[in-house]
Amino acid sequence: QKEVEQDPGPLSVPEGAIVSLNCTYSNSAFQYFMWYRQYSRKGPELLMYTYSSGNKEDGRFTAQVDKSSKYISLFIRDSQPSDSATYLCAMSAGGGSYIPTFGRGTSLIVHP
Amino acid sequence: NAGVMQNPRHLVRRRGQEARLRCSPMKGHSHVYWYRQLPEEGLKFMVYLQKENIIDESGMPKERFSAEFPKEGPSILRIQQVVRGDSAAYFCASSPGDSPYTFGSGTRLTVV
């Protein structure tokens, strides 16, 4: 079992849809959770950064962490074609061992 | 404030040649990380460096690969005697040590 599991997709949705992207993990020591967005031929850029369980909202994006289920989600409301990208989850135990483990990434396509 | 700068953006090498990839971290960031990305595998950690020190090289192949982050100048990832399997996108990231990474745009290495 991989430490972080993420469905590679592709996930294709119409413009305006609510998108749900998910990752599961096995390491209960993870406390810091991140979502990165990567456009084709570009480097990943940080979208959301959360600590421990709960929700965090930033504009159209909401990150959700459920540590009891070892499950994290990223929701995108009112999706736009410009949201088409690969979304990578990442997580770490934090502290001095801050080298996150990345999921494979989910390819999202938002069509007009 | 320039982001993480990587060069070259594209690098073509013949089998057996050496590849040198450069990374200048963001201003104020003393931690540098190198990752390799293959289409079917996602981002794989290679090495973590601070100035003049390798902190964690657990993801580096034992042979042909080396990395440095000198007191002055950029971090260098060096691949000797390249083989076709080294073809990938190589990403550098930097951080001040207690925050998530900022990634560069990557170097795409093609071995012919």
Residue A103, pLDDT > 70, answer yes
Q: Does A34 touch chain B (CB under 8 A)?
A: yes
Mutate: best of B9, B38, B43, partner A, most A CBs <10 A: B43
Question: Which residues have CB under 8 Å from A63's CB, separation 6+?
Answer: A33, A35, A48, A50, A55, A56, A57, A72, A73, A74, A75
Judging contacts by C-beta atoms under 8 Å, the chain A residues touching residue B103 are 36, 43-45
**Structure confidence by residue, pLDDT tens digits, A33-53:** 999 999 998 999 999 999 888
Residue pLDDT tens, chain B, 112 long = 579 999 999 999 999 999 999 999 999 899 999 999 987 778 999 999 998 899 999 999 999 999 999 999 999 999 999 999 999 999 999 988 777 889 999 999 999 9
Helices and strands per DSSP (H, E), number in chain B? 0, 11
Q: Does B85 touch chain A (CB under 8 A)?
A: no
